[in-house]
């Protein structure tokens, strides 16, 4: 048996089996919110159903029942969905009709019947658009995204997910945002873009922990585990998948138990621990057969077959692979069929049955080539998207792609050698067949690339829009935290304005009544002094409002020569008062070491002030519970740059956290306190100014952020 070939196969199995399952599952989650069949819920719905009149309430109960059964009993779920539909049609209850179509779509989807699923969800969407049911629209977009991704149409999938996310962010519906981030993450994972995938999944996990939705927490852990598995990081993979399994067992969510077990199986398979792998596959299979997800069952059959090949139990292997193949044909999953043939070819050659191996291999090639459309789209999307977001990343990914291709080529060559010994003639035929296919591919692909590019352009624009919205959200969030500080800052000058104006009124009366020239002169002086104080404090209030507006304004600001010392001073005060207002008993000493003769530098003021605010706020949080807390703000000038140092003697940043602090959505603050975007945006802003942010930190001793800006 050719070892190299087998290894390559293993990797393929991992990718394909996990993702198909994960997609399906998340899809269900999207509409279900709760996969586990909650017996208590079912019972209470059933009893309410008995007493319900033939009205919209009854339709709602029926649909809830359909959803409650969806995860574990699709037939019952479909029955209730149909009842919902007929009652809603009788009542002309539009929302009920759309919900019923949606549920039916999801059930079809779970069964692997994608085309009817898509039709049903589209029907649902049409009604929702008519009646302006925004939550429903978002849900349908999300479901369509999942169906498209299952069909391998990634541009359409992303487009729909982002459309869903946009509405959900507008409506602040956290649970749905959790699912959209999750779906987008899974899509990135499918494309091999692991950093983006992890970023989105951690965003999803964070919010699901915030709202305490255990289903989603379990699910997010599970996918995070699979991403680590794809990257070959087995310890992290196991940690996350076991976390998922534990929670899903706690809440009795069969679907997630099945996926977690399947994932654990894949990890053990990769680690070469076949008995453990097999044990977990059978656990997964038992549940899958109960629930009836054909796609999942086919994948698990396939995985079990693969293990049996490695254990040289060829009869068992043959049985499971054939079961996988026939089930895959039943649900017309080309992807599954392709891998089944490939694995059968491996089995045949392992048994010395080379003629049949060649037959199976040919069938694999045919299946693979008919999938060409899908895979091509996937590849182009991946490259294009990364190009738009990060040119460096795309360079890496292209390199990776190339290596993968070279690897694949090597595999083919080695395979060719094996066959050459046994079936030279057949190989020549196969070779010709390849060349013929190659020509056809080339022709097809030009056309596809053109069409895909148009799609990509659209998707990219929408991505940009969503990104811009997130940035704006972060701005507003930090503005909210500042409001109290601003209120304090603005109240003091206004108080002076009022008092000095009042005093001047009194003093003018006195002046009018005074006969004493010396006293008159003194009074006039005081009045004048008060007027200049009024002016001074009026300007102070004006400045605060201005900087507040600048802070929240979206879009790109203009660069202007700025006194960094002044900016640092202003924002240190603002942050301090904000902190005082938000955190009980907060206090600290602040040291300012500002360099004299600091040259003015060209910066976008509102951007750099955001950076200062973020870093100062973080420093305050780090020292808030520490006696003798001190924040030191230093400015320095070098020949070509201005340096700002923000130092605290707080808790410090552990090494493991330090590596991640600039990642979007990464936060160590209690849930709901931070958006996790502050440092990542700060990093981007400083980078856009041609500068850099560095961090030096020692746990327990404190942290120093160093911003370098070019002159």
Partner 1 sequence: MIKIFVVDDEPDVELMFRQKFRYEIKTGEFSLMFALSAERALSYMSTLEPFDLILVLSDINMPGMNGLELLKRIRSMYPDLTVFMISAYGDPHNQDEASRLGASDFITKPVDFPSLKQRILNSTSR
What are the E-state strand segments in 628-679?
A: 630-637, 641-648
**371: contact with partner 1 by CB under 8 A:** no
Closest approach of Cβ 501 to partner 1, in Å?
11
Asked if 214 contacts 243 with a C-beta cutoff of 8 angstroms, the reply is no
Nearer to partner 1, 352 or 628 (CB): 628
Closest approach of Cβ 535 to partner 1, in Å?
12
Asked if 270 contacts 307 with a C-beta cutoff of 8 angstroms, the reply is no
- Sort strands 630-637 and 589-593 into parallel, antiparallel or unpaired: parallel
Site map 588..627 versus partner 1, x via CB under 8 A: -xx-------------------------------------
Nearer to partner 1, 310 or 626 (CB): 626
Q: How many CB atoms lie within 10 A of CB 81?
A: 27
Nearer to partner 1, 76 or 520 (CB): 520
Nearer to partner 1, 247 or 646 (CB): 646
What are the E-state strand segments in 454-600?
A: 559-562, 589-593
Q: Which stretch binds partner 1 (CB under 8 A): 1-9, 30-38, 426-434, 586-594?
A: 586-594
Asked if 511 contacts 530 with a C-beta cutoff of 8 angstroms, the reply is no
Closest approach of Cβ 578 to partner 1, in Å?
12
Nearer to partner 1, 214 or 580 (CB): 580
Nearer to partner 1, 560 or 589 (CB): 589
**525: contact with partner 1 by CB under 8 A:** no
Smallest CA-to-CA distance from 253 within 29, 27, 16 is with 29
Nearer to partner 1, 379 or 580 (CB): 580
Radius of gyration of the chain (CA): 32
Q: Which stretch binds partner 1 (CB under 8 A): 81-89, 123-131, 289-297, 582-590?
A: 582-590
Q: Which residues contact 219 (CB under 8 A, 6 or more apart)?
A: 25, 26, 29, 182, 244, 256
Closest approach of Cβ 495 to partner 1, in Å?
5
The DSSP result for 69-82, as a single string, is HHTT-HHHHHHHHH
Joined tokens for residue 480: 């909210």
Nearer to partner 1, 467 or 505 (CB): 505
Q: Which residues contact 475 (CB under 8 A, 6 or more apart)?
A: 551, 552, 554, 610
Burial call 340-351: b when 16+ CB within 10 Å, e when fewer: bbbbbbbbbbbb
Q: How many CB atoms lie within 10 A of CB 330?
A: 11
Asked if 460 contacts 384 with a C-beta cutoff of 8 angstroms, the reply is yes
Nearer to partner 1, 107 or 629 (CB): 629
Paired residues of 636 in beta bridges: 643
Closest approach of Cβ 566 to partner 1, in Å?
18
**529: contact with partner 1 by CB under 8 A:** yes
Q: From the list 329, 580, 626, 692, which residue makes contact with partner 1 (rule: CB under 8 A)?
A: 580
Closest approach of Cβ 529 to partner 1, in Å?
8
Nearer to partner 1, 231 or 526 (CB): 526
Asked if 217 contacts 225 with a C-beta cutoff of 8 angstroms, the reply is no
Smallest CA-to-CA distance from 683 within 671, 698, 703, 666 is with 666
Joined tokens for residue 368: 């693979």
Closest approach of Cβ 497 to partner 1, in Å?
11
Asked if 352 contacts 1 with a C-beta cutoff of 8 angstroms, the reply is no
Closest approach of Cβ 536 to partner 1, in Å?
8
Q: Which stretch binds partner 1 (CB under 8 A): 66-74, 111-119, 437-445, 526-534?
A: 526-534
218-247 residues in contact with partner 1 (CB under 8 A) are: none
Q: From the list 424, 584, 596, 656, which residue makes contact with partner 1 (rule: CB under 8 A)?
A: 584
Q: From the list 123, 206, 338, 537, which residue makes contact with partner 1 (rule: CB under 8 A)?
A: 537
Site map 548..577 versus partner 1, x via CB under 8 A: ----------------------------xx
Nearer to partner 1, 251 or 503 (CB): 503
Joined tokens for residue 690: 């041609």
Tell me phi and psi for residue 641, to 5 degrees. -150, 165
**632: contact with partner 1 by CB under 8 A:** no
Closest approach of Cβ 273 to partner 1, in Å?
58
Q: Which stretch binds partner 1 (CB under 8 A): 48-56, 76-84, 182-190, 528-536?
A: 528-536
Closest approach of Cβ 521 to partner 1, in Å?
16
Nearer to partner 1, 243 or 581 (CB): 581
Cα angle for residues 707, 708, 709 (degrees, 5° grid): 120
- Sort strands 601-604 and 692-698 into parallel, antiparallel or unpaired: unpaired
Nearer to partner 1, 370 or 587 (CB): 587
Closest approach of Cβ 674 to partner 1, in Å?
23
Nearer to partner 1, 47 or 532 (CB): 532
Closest approach of Cβ 487 to partner 1, in Å?
8
- Spatial distance between the Cα atoms of 308 and 316, rounded to a whole number of angstroms: 6
Asked if 647 contacts 635 with a C-beta cutoff of 8 angstroms, the reply is no
**587: contact with partner 1 by CB under 8 A:** yes
75-114 residues in contact with partner 1 (CB under 8 A) are: none
CB hemisphere CA count around 422 (13 angstroms) = 13
Q: Which long-range contacts (CB under 8 A, 24 or more apart) does 682-685 make?
A: 682/610, 682/611, 682/614, 682/615, 685/604, 685/607, 685/608, 685/610, 685/611
CB hemisphere CA count around 121 (13 angstroms) = 29
Closest approach of Cβ 671 to partner 1, in Å?
24
Site map 469..508 versus partner 1, x via CB under 8 A: -------------------x--xx--xx-xxx--x---x-
Nearer to partner 1, 175 or 590 (CB): 590
Closest approach of Cβ 538 to partner 1, in Å?
13
User: Total number of residues binding partner 1 (CB under 8 A)?
Assistant: 24
User: Residues in the site for partner 1, rule: CB under 8 A?
Assistant: 488, 491-492, 495-496, 498-500, 503, 507, 526, 529-530, 533, 537, 576-577, 580-581, 584-585, 587, 589-590
């Amino acid at each position: 048996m050719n070892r190299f070939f087998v290894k390559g196969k293993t990797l393929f199995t991992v990718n394909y089996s996990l993702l198909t399952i994960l997609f399906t599952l998340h899809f269900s989650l999207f509409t279900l919110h709760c996969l586990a069949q909650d017996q208590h819920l079912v019972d209470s719905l059933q009893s309410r159903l008995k007493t319900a009149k033939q009205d919209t309430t009854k339709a709602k109960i029926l649909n809830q029942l359909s959803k409650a059964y969806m995860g574990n009993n699709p037939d019952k779920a479909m029955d209730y969905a149909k009842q919902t539909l007929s009652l809603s049609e009788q009542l002309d209850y539009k929302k009920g009709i759309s919900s019923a179509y949606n549920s039916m779509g999801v059930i079809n989807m779970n069964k692997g019947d994608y085309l009817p699923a898509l039709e049903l969800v589209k029907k649902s969407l049409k009604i929702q658009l008519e009646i302006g049911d925004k939550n429903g629209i978002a849900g349908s977009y999300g479901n369509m995204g999942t169906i498209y991704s299952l069909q391998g149409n990634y541009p359409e999938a992303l487009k729909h997910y982002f459309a869903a996310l946009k509405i959900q962010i507008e409506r602040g519906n956290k649970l749905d945002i959790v699912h959209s981030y999750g779906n987008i993450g899974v899509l990135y994972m499918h494309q091999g873009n692991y950093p983006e995938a992890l970023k989105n999944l951690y965003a999803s996990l964070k919010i699901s922990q915030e709202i305490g939705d255990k289903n989603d927490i379990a699910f997010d852990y599970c996918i995070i585990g699979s991403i680590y598995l794809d990257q070959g990081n087995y310890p992290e993979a196991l940690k996350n998948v076991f976390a998922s399994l534990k929670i899903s067992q706690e809440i009795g969510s069969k679907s997630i138990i099945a996926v977690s077990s399947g994932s654990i199986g894949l990890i053990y398979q990769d680690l070469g621990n076949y008995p453990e792998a097999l044990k977990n596959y059978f656990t997964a299979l038992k549940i899958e057969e109960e629930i009836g997800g054909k796609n999942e069952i086919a994948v698990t059959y396939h995985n079990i077959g693969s293990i049996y090949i490695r254990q040289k139990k060829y009869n068992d292997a043959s049985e499971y692979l054939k079961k996988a193949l026939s089930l895959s044909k039943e649900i017309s999953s080309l992807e599954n069929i392709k891998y089944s043939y490939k694995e059968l070819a491996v089995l045949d050659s392992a048994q010395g049955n080379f003629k049949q191996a060649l037959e199976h291999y040919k069938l694999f090639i045919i299946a693979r080539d008919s999938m060409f459309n899908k895979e091509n789209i996937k590849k182009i999307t991946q490259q294009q998207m990364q190009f738009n977001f990060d040119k460096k990343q795309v360079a890496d990914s292209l390199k990776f792609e190339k290596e993968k291709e070279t690897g694949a080529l090597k595999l083919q060559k080695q395979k060719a050698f094996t066959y050459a010994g046994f079936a030279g003639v057949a190989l020549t035929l196969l070779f010709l067949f390849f060349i013929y296919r190659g020509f056809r591919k080339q022709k097809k692909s030009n056309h596809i690339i053109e069409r895909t590019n148009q799609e990509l352009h659209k998707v990219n624009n929408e991505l940009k829009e969503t990104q811009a919205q997130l940035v704006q959200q972060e701005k507003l969030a930090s503005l909210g935290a500042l409001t109290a500080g601003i209120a304090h800052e603005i109240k003091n000058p206004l108080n002076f304005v009022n008092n000095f104006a009042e005093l001047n009124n009194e003093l003018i009366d006195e002046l009018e009544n005074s006969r004493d020239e010396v006293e008159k002169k003194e009074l006039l002086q005081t009045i004048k002094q008060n007027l200049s104080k009024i002016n001074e404090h009026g300007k102070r209030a004006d400045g605060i409002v201005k900087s507040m507006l600048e802070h929240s304004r979206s879009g790109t600001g203009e660069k202007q020569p700025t006194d960094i010392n002044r900016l640092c001073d202003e924002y240190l005060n603002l942050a301090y008062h904000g902190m005082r207002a938000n955190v009980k008993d907060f206090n600290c000493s602040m040291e300012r070491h500002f360099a004299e003769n600091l040259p003015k530098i060209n910066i976008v003021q509102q951007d750099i002030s955001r950076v200062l605010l973020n870093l100062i706020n973080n420093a305050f949080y780090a020292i808030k519970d520490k006696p003798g807390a001190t924040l030191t703000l230093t400015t320095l000038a070098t020949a070509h740059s201005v340096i700002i140092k923000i130092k605290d003697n707080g808790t410090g940043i552990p090494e493991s956290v330090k590596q991640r602090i600039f990642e979007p959505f990464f936060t160590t603050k209690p849930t709901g306190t931070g958006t996790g975007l502050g440092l990542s945006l700060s990093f981007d802003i400083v980078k856009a100014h041609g500068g850099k942010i560095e961090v030096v930190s020692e746990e327990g001793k404190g942290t120093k952020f160093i911003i370098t800006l070019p002159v």
